[in-house]
Chain A
Amino acid sequence: MKQGYSKSHYWRKSKSAITTFLCLLSALIAVVPLFLIFFYSLSQGIGALNLDFFIKMPKPVGESGGGMANAIVGTGILIGLGTLFGLPISLFTGIYLAEHKHGAFASVVRFLTDVLSGIPSIVVGVVAYIVVVLPMKHFSALAGGVALGILMIPTATRTTEEMLLLVPQSIREAGLALGIARWRVTLRVILPTALRGITTGILLALARAAGETAPLLFTALGNRFWSTEIGQPIASLSVFIYDYAKAPFSDWNRQAWAAAFVLIFFITILNVIFRFVTRGRYAGNGN
């Protein structure tokens, strides 16, 4: 039987083996940058990652030491403002999309949410500049918050919708069969069931917003001093990374790496948690 195999058979077999190997190789190549980025952020930033980094203010040009306390608080405030602005819209729109699965208007909105997620963040920054900075006549945390709020809408909306749709239809029917009004079933039964997934999904959207830089450059601007006023320019970790990366001081460069490490550390942790939470959900719904 064995001599029945033609030459082309072996050629086809080896071609298959080669391409399989190439696919494996591309998967390896694809994850290399991730490890490089983690490695460099940690190895370059570790020298600046100490308690001072979190609780001290930035030092003037030329002096070493200091920290990014104002930027950490600033990023927190910006995210808070973004949440205030983006969360209600995302939550309600997500509920609307989940309740009108096949509705015509829901399809249009779902489509536009996807399109919105592809709009460059710098463009969102320009819009926030026109809508908030121009009328107020100066840069402000508020404008940055509006930009971040718009940016989190697509992710938060679609996560809310997906998590709500994961709740089995039978639970909704059970609620309705008890004679409970639709809106109460949604708010008191469906939403709490999906809450874990929605919360982590929204945290993930927040983490992404925390890393945004381009839309903050001409909205929140940046600030080397302590400020928590939402009407004034405010510091943020991401803009600090940008400024410190361009600066010709190795101490500042080190702090930029440290800030980058802090950002990707939080993003990774939240991604892991999200993965863990949604895996539980899928498993519970896999009937």
Chain B
Amino acid sequence: MIAWTIYLTFGGAVLLLVLPRALARWIALVATIAGLALGSVAFVATPIADLTQFRTIVLAPWVPALGMNYHLALDGVSLTMLLVTGISAVSTVLFSWDVEHRQNEFFFWLLLVVAGCYGVFLSADLFLLFVFYELVIVPKYFLIAIFGSTNKEYGAMKLTLYSFFGGMFVFVGILVAYVSGGSLDLNQLSQFEFSPQLQSWAFPVLFLGFVVLAGIWPLHTWAPTGHAAAPTAGSMLLAGIVMKLGSYAGLRVAMNLFPQGFEMWSKWIAVLAVIGIVYAAAVALRQRDLKFVIGYSSVSHMGFALLGLATANALGVSGAVLQMFSHGVIAALLFAVAGRMIYRRTHTRQLDALSGMNLSHAMPFAAFAFVVAAAASMGIPGFSGFAAEITILIGAWKTYPVAVWIAGAGIVLVAAFTLRALKLSFFGEKRAQDEVTKDTAVNRKEFNPITIPEKIGACMLMLTTFAVGVYPKLLLDRIMPAVETMRFLK
């Protein structure tokens, strides 16, 4: 049944092409809600015992002569990723409610990205996974190149070329796995013993190819420019789900297939991850464009996910999966506030300009949402970011104690740039009292109020990060058992 997330989303995209414009956003909303509902039902209804193995749900021959199957499977990790995809997708549609420019086309590309992501998270066949993985690139390009802002062609191009560049390595890695393992089926391949010598070079090829998309340092430079150029919906999807494709596939494919290669290289991944955490946070501290700040914060947060993967113990890896979920929600919220609530109304994202506008008075709801998002992003207890990062750090403590200390410094930097952005954007310097009241009065009139869809979308994201922050067990119960059965754990 969960396979219908893919079909319904694709179906919605096709409908958008034929039905008139007036229905466009409703179709997109229905399709994404359907996806989220299916994910939630599966989340509630599937017994936890069934989520420990990557269990087949659909298996049909595709090109039988060549061993390609249409093979979908589900375990706790992919279910978690499906859920965050659903949540990001619904909120993205809500935050795109007033898109006017070429509406059908906009939602068409948007649904294609979402459908492709569902496909990657469910694929149990390497070929199929690669098809979906590459399929996400094109709609992403168009979302940015057509509907983006700041330097959109450059951003779209850079992102696409980085994706293809990573895809090239992935392609070679898949061929290696197929040629030596004799199968494309992930479950069969993860039983196969590849020779250590092969693993030692095949693992980095495959893993690096995937995590280009997760923004691993130093291959992260596409992320800030891409995020800044993308329309709000694009940034939300990009940070919310697409970046997770890289870390998810790195875990599901590279680490599972080549455990010994992973063992050889894991400390280097940890090094890159830690550099990414600290470096991106430091750079974010100096940015003037709010979207660039958030773009770099995404790189920093994904660094935590990669560090979690590199720990190679159940706790750290589960924390990484939780971080993927958590960051998906938080980044979506941050971009929604920055791109939709602020930029659409003030037409600027420059922190210097925003600091004079006293936005906390003009847009109290936006200010509230941003404070929550910032708190979650900083890792304040009670929000999902904390639950994820603490799990990662505890996991990392066992393997790389030094990394924990450096990453801890990174957390301080994250807090610093988040507070700076928060202060400058919403709580700028107070001016003379009369000037402020005058300004505010003007602002209140000038800025359209926050709309209902925007409020629903923001509340949904806030509630999710809060719920997971308070009760992370909800997800960890499903993630941990699935991670524990994976092969790279000793």
The answer to whether A and B assemble together is no
A residues with CB within 8 A of B: none
B residues with CB within 8 A of A: none
